[in-house]
Structure 1
Amino acid sequence: MDVETTLLFVLTAVAVLVVVHWLADRTGLPAAALLTAVGLGFAFLPGPNVVLDPHLVLTVVIPPLLYSAALDSSLLAIRRNLRTMISLSVLLVLVTALIVGVAFDLLVPGATLAAGIALGAAVAPPDPVAALAVGRRVGLPPRLITLIQGEGLLNDATALTILSVAVAVATGERYSTWWAVGRFLLASVGGVAIGVLVAVGVRWVRRWRRDPMTLNAVSLATPFVAYLLGEKAHVSGVLAVVVAGLVIGHDSSRMVSGASRLQVNAVWRLVSFLLEGFVFLLIGQQLPTVVAGLGQYETSTIVLASVVTLGAVLLVRPLWLALTQLLPQSLHTRLGGGEDEDEDDRPDTRRAHAEQRFTGRELAVLSWAGTRGVISLAAISTLPLTFPDRDLLLFCTYLVVLVTLLGQGVTFAPLVRALRMRANAADQARLRNRARAAAVQAGLDRLGEMQKEEHDAIDDQAIAALRAQLESRLARYRQRLDVLRNAESTIPYNPQYEAAVRAQRAVIEAEREELLRLRDVGRLPDSGLRVLERELDHQEGLLPARPAG
C-alpha cells in the first residue's frame, strides 16, 4: 500500500475502534470479540486485506502490550500466588501442547508428533485481554483478576520455548529430553535476568532524570530494549519484558513523581487501546490468508484436525484446574492477597487463607477465561514454510482463536453474572478507607514532627490550616468506615455523600466556566488558563467516577 492508502486505513481503523468501544460500553460485550467480528466482516469485502506479519507482531506489538499489562499488575500478588501461576502458565501450557501433539499424531492422517506439539504450543497460552475487560466491568473478585492477568503475562514465554523445540525436532536438529529441559531453563532464567537488568537500568535513569517527558520516552523504549536484549542473548525476550515491567511497576510509587506517573499511565493506556484494537481487527482479516492454503487437504482431514484441536483446548483447561484441586493441601498456594481482603493479621486468619482452595464457581470462571489471541497466530505463523502441514496448523490455530474469542469472550460476562462471582464491594471500600485513614494519620504525625523541628521556619497559621484539612479528611474517612462496618457485600447508598459529590462537581464546573469567560474577554491568557484548568482537572480526577450509561 502507498502512503495515502496506509494513512486512510489507519484513520478508518481508529474510527472503527472508537465506534466499537462505544458499542461495547453500551452493550457490555467485550470489545475484543466485536473487533474480531468487524475484521471478519471486512475480510469478505472486495479489496486487499492486511496480512499479519508474525515477526512484526512478536517484535513491535507484543512487547509493549505485555509491558503495559505488567505495569498494571502486582508483583506481590503474583509472588503470593506463584505456585498457581506456575501451574497455569508453565505446567498447563506444557500439558496442553503435549496432549494436542499426541492427539494430532494419533488421529490426523499423515500428521507428525512434532507438528502436533508445535500446534499445541501455539494454541496453549490464553490471551486474557477479553476476559480481563469483561471481568473488570462485571466486578470479578480481585484474586481471580490477578490469576488471569498473571497467567497471561507468563505463559507466552513457555509456549514460544516449546514451539522452538518442536521446530528443532521437525527440522532434524540434534535433540534430547535433557537438551529441551536445558533450553527451557536457560530461556527462563536468562529472561528473568535480562528483565531485572533492564529494570535496574531504568531505576538508574529515574534517579538521574525525573522530568515527565524523559521518563515517558524511557518507558516507551523499555519493552523493546528488554525484548531485543533477550533475543540477542538467545533467552526469552517475552519473559524479559514481563519481569522488567513487574519490577519497574513495583518501584514506580517510590521512584517516580506524581506528575510523571500520571503522564506515563495515560500514555500506556492509549498505547494499549490502539495496539489491542488493531490486533483484534487484524485477527479477523486473516481469514482469506488462512483458508487459501487448505486446498491440498481432504475435507475430512480438516474437520478431524479442527475437532481434535478445539476439543483438547476446551477440555484440558477445566480438567487440569479440577485435578489440581486433588493435590495435597500443602501444595496449594494462597489465593488471597487481592484488594478484596478485609482481614487482620492474626495467625488463624493467615492459616485459613493458606488452606483455601478454588470453589466450584471459581473453577468455572477460570476455565472459561481461556480466550486465545494474536500471540497464537503470530507464533504459528513463524513456522518455516517447509514445516510439515503448516497450512493445516495455521487454520486450526485460527479456528481456536475465533471460537474462544467470539464464543468464550461473548459468554464470559453472562457466566460470571449467573454464578454471582462479584467482588465484595463493601470489603474493598473498607480496605481502601482504612488505608486512606492510615495515610492521613501518617501525614498528621509528620506535620507534628515538622512543627517541632522547624517551628521558626513554618508559619503557625499554615500549620493550623493544613492540620484542619487533614483532620477533616480523617473524620470523613472514619465516618465512611462506620457506615461500611455493618455492610455485607454492597456499598450502602449514602444520599449525603452523593449530594456532596454532585456539589463538588458543580463547583468545579462553575470555576471552569469562569476561567473560560476570563479567557474569552482577554483577561486571562491561554497559557494561564491551561495551568489553572490542569489544577481543576486534578481535583475532578479525585472524585468518584460518574455512573455508566
Structure 2
Amino acid sequence: MHVETLLLLVLGAVALIVAVRWVADRTGLPAAALLTLTGIAYAYLPGPNVVLDPELVLTLVLPPLLYSAALDSSLTAIRRNLRTVVSLSVLLVTATALLIGVGFALFVAGATLAAGIALGAAVAPPDPVAALAVGRRVGLPPRLVTLIQGEGLLNDATALTILSVAVTAARGDGFSTPAALGQFLVVAAGGVAVGVFVAHAVRPLRRIRRDPLSSNAISLATPFVAYLLAETVHVSGVLAVVVAGLVIGHNNPSWASGASRLQTEAVWRLVAFLLEGVVFLLIGQQLPAVISGLGQYDTGTVVTAASITVGVVLLLRPLWLWLTEHLPQSLHTRLGGEDVAGQDGDPRTVLQRLTGGEIAVLSWAGTRGVISLAAIFTLPLTTETGAPFPDRDLLLFCAFLAVLVTLVGQGLTFAPLVRALGLRADEADQARLRNEARAASVEAGLRRLDELAAEQHDHVDDDAIEAIRSQLQGRLDRYRRRLDVLQGAEGGEVPMSPQYEAALRVRRAVLTAQREELLHWRDVGRLPDEGLRRLERELDHEEGRLPARG
C-alpha cells in the first residue's frame, strides 16, 4: 500500500470518527454501533479496504485500550466486588466457551469439541466500551459501572488463555486437562506478577523525570512494556497491562505531579477516542471477508452453528447472573458490598443483591467487540498434519455474527432499556459526597495553615497566610452553602438555584473578559505569545474547575 493511500485512509478514518461521534452526541445513539455500521457500508464501496491483522490488534491496539480503561477504573471498587468480577470474567467466560464447544460437537456436523471451544473462548469476553459509554451518559449507578468495568478488564486474559489451549488441542499438538489447568494458573499468576512489577518499576522513573512531557512519555510506553515483558516470559500480557494500569491509576495521586496528571489524562482520552473509533470501523470492514468463506457449508450447518453461538452468548449471561443471585446466603457472591462501620466501630460488610432490573442491565451490557474478532482471526490455517484447521471459515462467521448482534443490537437498545427500568445514579447523593470531600480537604488546609502560623518562622509572611486563609474560608463557606442545598434534594437530581447559576455566569463572563484583554495585549505588541499562552493556561485551569455547561 502506497504511503499516500495509507495517509488518505488514516485521514478518512479520523474524519469518520469525528463525524459519527457528532451524530451520536446529537441523537443519543451509541457511537460504537454507528461506527460499526459505517465500517460495513464502507467495506462494500469500491476502493482499498483494511483487513484485520490479529497480531497488530493484540500487540499495538489492545494494550493501550486496556491500560487507558484500567487507569480510569477504581482498584478499590473492583477489590470490593472482586468475587462478582471473578465470577463474570473467569467462571462465566469459561462456561460460555465450554457450552459453545459442546453445542458444536453435538449439533454441528463434522465439528470438533476443541474447535467449538476455541470459538466459545473468542466470543465469551464482553467488550464494555460501548455499554460504558452509553451507561455513563444515561447515569448508570456506580456499582453497575464498576462491575461492567471490572469484568471487561479481566475477561480478555481468561478468554485468550482458553483459546490457546483449545487451539493446541484442535491442531493435534497433544492435550491434557491437568496440564491445561496448570498452564492457565501459571499464565494468570505470572501476568499479575509482571503487572505489579512494571507498575512499581515505573514509580522511580516518574520521580526522576517529574516534568509533564517525560512523565507522559513514560505513561504511553508503560502498557507496551508490560505486555511485551509478559509475553516474553510466556504469561498473560493482557493481565499484566490491566494490573499495571490499576496499580498506577490507584497510586497516581501520590506518584505523579498535578501537571503530569492533567496532561496524561488528556493524552489518554485522545488515544482511547481514536483507537476505539478505528477498532469499530475495522470490525465493520471485515464482513465481506468473513462471508466469502461460507460457500463450502450448507445453509442448515451455518444456521445451526450461528444459532448455538448467538444463543449461548445472549442467554447464558442472564441465566448466570440470576443463578448467582439466588445462591444460598452462605455461598452468595458479594455484589456491590460496601464497607461501613458497625456500632462497635468494627468494619462490617453490607451485602446487596442485584435487583431484577440490574440483572437485566448487566445482561444487556455484554456487547462483544474487536477482541473477539482478533482472537478468532488468530486461528491457524492448518493443523500439525497440514490439514486445514477444522471449520475455520465457519468459526470466523459465527464470531463476527455474535459481535454484530451484540454490538449493534444491544448497543442501540441499551440506553432505552436503562431508561425504561429507571436505573439511574443518585446524582444528588454523589454531588453531596463530592462537596463533603471538598469541604474536608479545605478544612485540612486551614488546619495546616494554623500550624504554619503557630510555628512563627521568620520567612512566613502573616499577610500571605491571612490572604490564603481568607481564600480557603471563602471556598469552605461556598461548599457548606451548596451542601445545605443538596441536603434537601429530591428525586436524585442535583438542584441548581438561580443564585448559583447566576454566579457561574458571572465567573465565566469574568474569565472571558480576562482572555479578551490578554489577546488585546498580544495584538498590540505588549505581550509576547509565550506569555499569552502561559496566562491563558492559568485561566483554562480556573475555568476547568467550573461545572460543565448543561
**TM-score category by the smaller chain?**
over 0.9
User: Counterpart of 1:536 in structure 2: which amino acid?
Assistant: L
CA shift, 1:204, in A, is 1.5
Report the counterpart of residue 118 of structure 1 in structure 2. 118
* Matched ranges for 1:204-283 at <5 A: 204-283=204-283
CA shift, 1:332, in A, is 3.7
**Secondary structure, aligned partner of 1:294:** helix
Looking at structure 2, the residues matched to 203 and 174 of structure 1 have their Cα atoms a distance apart, in angstroms, of: 43
**Secondary structure, aligned partner of 1:217:** helix
Report the counterpart of residue 432 of structure 1 in structure 2. 434
User: Counterpart of 1:537 in structure 2: which amino acid?
Assistant: D
Q: Is the 8 A contact 1:333 1:354 kept in 2?
A: no
Report the counterpart of residue 385 of structure 2 in structure 1. none
Q: Is the 8 A contact 1:329 1:355 kept in 2?
A: no
1:232-251: CA deviations, max 9, x gaps?
A: 11110000000000001111
1:496-516: CA deviations, max 9, x gaps?
A: 111111111110011001111
Looking at structure 2, the residues matched to 307 and 349 of structure 1 have their Cα atoms a distance apart, in angstroms, of: 54
Looking at structure 1, the residues matched to 141 and 349 of structure 2 have their Cα atoms a distance apart, in angstroms, of: 15
**Secondary structure, aligned partner of 1:230:** helix
* Matched ranges for 1:70-85 at <5 A: 70-85=70-85
Looking at structure 2, the residues matched to 328 and 439 of structure 1 have their Cα atoms a distance apart, in angstroms, of: 43
CA shift, 1:118, in A, is 0.3
Report the counterpart of residue 384 of structure 1 in structure 2. 380
Unaligned runs of 5+ in 1: none
Q: 1:18 to 1:350 in 2, by over 3 A?
A: farther
User: Counterpart of 1:544 in structure 2: which amino acid?
Assistant: P
Q: Is the 8 A contact 2:324 2:333 kept in 1?
A: no
* Matched ranges for 1:188-203 at <5 A: 188-203=188-203
Q: Is the 8 A contact 1:335 1:353 kept in 2?
A: no
User: Counterpart of 1:313 in structure 2: which amino acid?
Assistant: V
1:186-237: CA deviations, max 9, x gaps?
A: 0100000000110111012112221111111111111011001111111100
Looking at structure 1, the residues matched to 349 and 198 of structure 2 have their Cα atoms a distance apart, in angstroms, of: 34
Looking at structure 2, the residues matched to 405 and 432 of structure 1 have their Cα atoms a distance apart, in angstroms, of: 34
1:81-135: CA deviations, max 9, x gaps?
A: 0000100000000000011110111111111100100000000000000000000
Q: Is the 8 A contact 1:97 1:120 kept in 2?
A: yes
* Matched ranges for 1:449-528 at <5 A: 449-488=451-490, 489-528=492-531
Q: Is the 8 A contact 1:125 1:372 kept in 2?
A: yes
Q: 1:150 to 1:348 in 2, by over 3 A?
A: farther
Q: 1:491 to 1:344 in 2, by over 3 A?
A: farther
CA shift, 1:523, in A, is 1.0
Looking at structure 2, the residues matched to 336 and 325 of structure 1 have their Cα atoms a distance apart, in angstroms, of: 12
Looking at structure 1, the residues matched to 30 and 351 of structure 2 have their Cα atoms a distance apart, in angstroms, of: 34
**Secondary structure, aligned partner of 2:39:** helix
User: Counterpart of 2:369 in structure 1: which amino acid?
Assistant: G
Q: Is the 8 A contact 2:63 2:223 kept in 1?
A: yes
Q: Is the 8 A contact 2:326 2:332 kept in 1?
A: no
Q: 1:233 to 1:334 in 2, by over 3 A?
A: same
Report the counterpart of residue 165 of structure 1 in structure 2. 165
CA shift, 1:351, in A, is 8.3
> What TM-score results when the alignment is normalised by the length of structure 2?
0.97
* Matched ranges for 1:25-64 at <5 A: 25-64=25-64
Instruction: Tell me whether 1:372 sits opposite 2:368 in the alignment.
Output: yes
Report the counterpart of residue 352 of structure 2 in structure 1. 356
Cα RMSD of the aligned pairs, angstroms, is 1.5
Looking at structure 1, the residues matched to 18 and 476 of structure 2 have their Cα atoms a distance apart, in angstroms, of: 41
Q: 1:351 to 1:467 in 2, by over 3 A?
A: closer
Looking at structure 2, the residues matched to 265 and 350 of structure 1 have their Cα atoms a distance apart, in angstroms, of: 37
User: Counterpart of 2:373 in structure 1: which amino acid?
Assistant: L
User: Counterpart of 2:244 in structure 1: which amino acid?
Assistant: A
Q: Is the 8 A contact 2:341 2:348 kept in 1?
A: no
**Secondary structure, aligned partner of 2:413:** helix
Unaligned runs of 5+ in 2: 383-388
User: Counterpart of 1:238 in structure 2: which amino acid?
Assistant: V
Q: 1:490 to 1:379 in 2, by over 3 A?
A: same
CA shift, 1:452, in A, is 1.6
CA shift, 1:326, in A, is 1.6
Report the counterpart of residue 534 of structure 1 in structure 2. 537
User: Counterpart of 1:531 in structure 2: which amino acid?
Assistant: R
**Secondary structure, aligned partner of 2:296:** coil
Q: Is the 8 A contact 1:89 1:151 kept in 2?
A: yes
Q: Is the 8 A contact 2:325 2:333 kept in 1?
A: no
Q: Is the 8 A contact 1:188 1:239 kept in 2?
A: yes
Q: 1:212 to 1:438 in 2, by over 3 A?
A: same
**Secondary structure, aligned partner of 2:294:** coil
Q: 1:349 to 1:383 in 2, by over 3 A?
A: farther
Instruction: Return 113-122 or 351-360, whichever deviates more.
Output: 351-360
Instruction: Tell me whether 1:3 sits opposite 2:3 in the alignment.
Output: yes
Report the counterpart of residue 99 of structure 1 in structure 2. 99
Looking at structure 2, the residues matched to 255 and 485 of structure 1 have their Cα atoms a distance apart, in angstroms, of: 35
CA shift, 1:47, in A, is 2.2
Q: Is the 8 A contact 1:335 1:354 kept in 2?
A: no
Q: Is the 8 A contact 2:198 2:244 kept in 1?
A: yes
> What TM-score results when the alignment is normalised by the length of structure 1?
0.97
User: Counterpart of 1:345 in structure 2: which amino acid?
Assistant: A
Q: Is the 8 A contact 1:334 1:353 kept in 2?
A: no
Looking at structure 1, the residues matched to 230 and 196 of structure 2 have their Cα atoms a distance apart, in angstroms, of: 11
